[in-house]
Structure 1
Amino acid sequence: MKPVTTSNQWRTEGRVALQALHAPRASRVLARLLLLLLGLTAVLLVVTPWQQNIPGTGRVIAYSPEERPQNVQTPIDGRIAQWYVVEGSPVKKGDPIVDLTDNDPSIMQRLAEERESLVRSITETERRMRAIEQRVAGLKDTQVTGVEAADLRVRMARERVSAADQALSAAKAAKYTADLNLERQRALEKKGLTSTRFVELAELEAATRVADVDRAVAALNAARAEQSSLDQERLRTGADAGTRIDEAWAAHASAASDLAKARADLTRLDVRVARQATQKVHAPVDGTVWRVVARQNGEYLKAGATLVVIVPTTSRTVVELYLNGNDVPMVRQGRTVRLQFEGWPALQFSGWPSVAVGTFGGRVLLVDATDDGKGKFRVLVEPDPNDEPWPAAQYLRQGVRANGWVLLDVVSLGYELWRQFNGFPPVVAMEDPDGGKDADGNVVKVKGAK
Structure 2
Amino acid sequence: MAPAVKNKEYPAQAQPHYSTADLLKTAPTGRTLALWCGGIFLVLCLALFLPWTQNIRSNGTLTALNPAGRPQTLQSVISGRIEKWHVQEGQTVQKGDTLISISEVKDKYFDPQLLQRLNEQIEAKRMSLVATQQKAKALEDQIANLRGGLTFSLNKARNKIDQVKFKLQSDSAELVAAQTDYKIAQVQLERQEALYQQGLKSLTELETRRLKFQEVRAKLQGYENKVASTHNELQNARIELNSLTAEYGEKTAKAESELSATRGYAYTTNGELAKMKNEYANTKIRAGFYHITAPQNGIVVKAMKAGIGETVKEGEAVATILPREAQLAVELFVKPMDFPLIRKGQHIRLQFDGWPALVFSGWPNTGFGTFGGRIAVIDNVATMGKYRILVVPDPQTEPWPEALRIGSGVYGWALLNDVPIWYELWRQLNGFPADYPTQETGATYAPKDKKESNALTDETSAE
**Which of 248, 254, 262 is the equivalent residue of 1:243?**
254
User: So what's the TM-score if we normalise by structure 2?
Assistant: 0.75
Match of 1:96 in 2: 98
| 2:405 counterpart of 1:402 | no
| 2:280 counterpart of 1:280 | no
| Amino acid corresponding to residue 97 of structure 1 in structure 2 | L
| Amino acid corresponding to residue 86 of structure 1 in structure 2 | Q
Pick closer, same or farther for the CA change 1:183–1:397 going to 2, 3 Å.
Answer: same
For structure 1, the residue ranges without an aligned partner over 5 or more in a row are: 1-22, 433-450
Match of 2:112 in 1: 109
Residues 66-89 of structure 1, C-alpha deviations (whole Å, 9 max, x = no match): 222222223443322222223222
Q: 1:406 Cα deviation (Å)?
A: 1.6
Q: 1:203 Cα deviation (Å)?
A: 6.9
**Which of 141, 146, 150 is the equivalent residue of 1:143?**
146
Pick closer, same or farther for the CA change 1:300–1:39 going to 2, 3 Å.
Answer: closer
Q: Which 10-residue stretch deviates more, 59-68 or 254-263? A: 254-263
Pick closer, same or farther for the CA change 1:338–1:431 going to 2, 3 Å.
Answer: closer
Q: 1:252 Cα deviation (Å)?
A: 3.6
How far apart, CA to CA, are the structure 1 residues paired with 2:187 and 2:278? Answer: 101
CA contact (8 A) 1:56 1:323 kept: yes
SS at match of 2:359: coil
CA contact (8 A) 2:118 2:280 kept: yes
Pick closer, same or farther for the CA change 1:430–1:365 going to 2, 3 Å.
Answer: closer
**Which of 380, 387, 392 is the equivalent residue of 1:377?**
387
Q: 1:378 Cα deviation (Å)?
A: 0.4
**Which of 418, 429, 440 is the equivalent residue of 1:421?**
429
How far apart, CA to CA, are the structure 2 residues paired with 1:102 and 1:167? Answer: 94
Q: 1:143 Cα deviation (Å)?
A: 2.3
Q: 1:63 Cα deviation (Å)?
A: 1.6
SS at match of 1:109: coil
Match of 1:53 in 2: 55
| 2:132 counterpart of 1:121 | no
Residues 28-39 of structure 1: matches in 2 within 5 Å?
none
For structure 2, the residue ranges without an aligned partner over 5 or more in a row are: 1-25, 197-204, 441-463
| Amino acid corresponding to residue 139 of structure 1 in structure 2 | Q
Residues 288-299 of structure 1: matches in 2 within 5 Å?
288-299=299-310
Match of 2:83 in 1: 81
Pick closer, same or farther for the CA change 1:211–1:354 going to 2, 3 Å.
Answer: same
How far apart, CA to CA, are the structure 2 residues paired with 1:50 and 1:182? Answer: 156
Runs in 1 of length 4+ with deviation above 6 angstroms? 23-40
Match of 1:165 in 2: 168
Match of 1:360 in 2: 371
Residues 79-122 of structure 1, C-alpha deviations (whole Å, 9 max, x = no match): 22222223222222233322323457993534144224313313
Pick closer, same or farther for the CA change 1:25–1:280 going to 2, 3 Å.
Answer: closer
Q: 1:318 Cα deviation (Å)?
A: 0.7
Residues 181-214 of structure 1, C-alpha deviations (whole Å, 9 max, x = no match): 3674477468649958647755763564355235
| Amino acid corresponding to residue 255 of structure 1 in structure 2 | A
How far apart, CA to CA, are the structure 2 residues paired with 1:105 and 1:91? Answer: 33
CA contact (8 A) 1:86 1:289 kept: yes
Match of 2:339 in 1: 328
Pick closer, same or farther for the CA change 1:162–1:424 going to 2, 3 Å.
Answer: farther
Residues 428-439 of structure 1: matches in 2 within 5 Å?
428-430=436-438
SS at match of 2:333: strand
Q: Which 10-residue stretch deviates more, 74-83 or 181-190? A: 181-190
| Amino acid corresponding to residue 57 of structure 1 in structure 2 | N
How far apart, CA to CA, are the structure 1 residues paired with 2:104 and 2:69? Answer: 31
Pick closer, same or farther for the CA change 1:265–1:105 going to 2, 3 Å.
Answer: closer
Residues 385-434 of structure 1, C-alpha deviations (whole Å, 9 max, x = no match): 11111111xx31111111111222223333333333333332233489xx
| Alpha-carbon RMSD | 3.7
How far apart, CA to CA, are the structure 2 residues paired with 1:358 and 1:276? Answer: 53
Q: 1:382 Cα deviation (Å)?
A: 0.9
| 2:231 counterpart of 1:213 | no
CA contact (8 A) 1:108 1:273 kept: no
How far apart, CA to CA, are the structure 2 residues paired with 1:414 and 1:148? Answer: 114
